[in-house]
Structure 1
Amino acid sequence: MSDNLRSLSITLVAEPKQVKSFTLTQWRIAELTLSDQGPNVLNLQLSMTERAAYRFNLTSATPRLFVRAGFTGQTPKPDAITASQDVAAGWMDGEQQVLEAPMPMAIEVWIESYLARHGEAPMEMRKKKRKGAGRAKETPSKEQPQ
């Protein structure tokens, strides 16, 4: 298997939630396992461009995996998975529903080894500002004769 690809099986469960006088169905990930068999199998593929996001996720109190599951308001149909919060945020901006689950320890170790092999993401360099750019300029004031 490729060093940047792992298959994960995801099981979803619907839970009824009471909101005032309405009953809503809320979906969550009931089970997430390393397997290429199950009701919903997705491939988690690591990308060199997302290394900083993986590191950010791994250093959080509870590392997570994010599953794109179709459009908001529809029955979820998982079709993609990521360990990058940046990618997940992009999905949500596109009105996709995103489910999340704690990252299995085996995936944490795998991502750590990926980062060790390929290096951490390079530090983003700030552009140098031109001298005086972005600052208000003083205009010479005319002195009043005394």
Structure 2
Amino acid sequence: MSDNLRSLSITLVAEPKQVRGFTLTQWRIAELTPGEQGDYVLRLQLSMTERAAYRFNLTSATPRLFVRAGFTGQAPKPDAITASQDVAAGWLDGEQQVLEASMPMAIQVWLESYLARHGEAPPEKRKKKHKGAGRAKETPTKEQPQ
């Protein structure tokens, strides 16, 4: 397997939840393990463009993995996994349901190794603001001959 791709097995469980007198089904990841032995097998592929997000995740108190599981309000159908909160946020913006789980230690070590091999993402440089930048300016116009 390549240095940026790992198989992960996921098992989901449904839990009834009471909300204002109604019973709803809430899904969660019961088990997430490296390998191909669970109900769903997804491939976690790392991307050079997400290195800053991976570092942010790894330095958090509890690193997480995020699973895209189909559209909100439907039975979950996991079809993608990421270690980037930025990617997961994009899925949520698209009205996809996103389940999350603690990142297994083996994946944390693999992710650290990936960052060590490919380097940390370069720090984002902020553009200097120029005087008057972002403000509309009135520009003189020439009279059009009639």
Could you say whether these structures have the same fold, taking a TM-score greater than 0.5 normalized by the shorter chain as the test? yes
| 2:129 is the alignment partner of 1:129 | yes
2:138 maps to which residue?
A: none
Residues of 2 paired with 1:97 and 1:71: CA distance? Answer: 6
Look up the equivalent residue of 2:127 and give its one-letter code. Answer: K
Residues of 1 paired with 2:96 and 2:115: CA distance? Answer: 28
2:48 maps to which residue?
A: 48
1:58 maps to which residue?
A: 58
SS at structure 1 position matched to 2:36: coil
Q: Root-mean-square deviation (CA), in Å?
A: 1.4
Q: Within 5 Å, which residues of 2 pair with 1:86-97? A: 86-97=86-97
In the TM superposition, what is the alpha-carbon distance from 1:112 to its structure 2 partner?
Answer: 0.3
1:37 maps to which residue?
A: 37
SS at structure 2 position matched to 1:24: strand
Residues 9-66 of structure 1, C-alpha deviations (whole Å, 9 max, x = no match):
0000000001121000000000001112321000000000000000000000000000
Look up the equivalent residue of 1:133 and give its one-letter code. Answer: G
SS at structure 2 position matched to 1:51: helix
Larger Cα-atom Rg: 1
2:16 maps to which residue?
A: 16
Aligned pair count reads 135
Look up the equivalent residue of 1:102 and give its one-letter code. Answer: S
Residues 48-93 of structure 1, C-alpha deviations (whole Å, 9 max, x = no match):
0000000000000000000000000000000000000000000000
Q: Which runs of 5+ in 2 are unaligned?
A: 136-146
TM-score w.r.t. structure 2 length?
0.89
SS at structure 1 position matched to 2:123: coil
2:98 maps to which residue?
A: 98
Identity of aligned residues (%): 84
Residues of 1 paired with 2:109 and 2:33: CA distance? Answer: 15
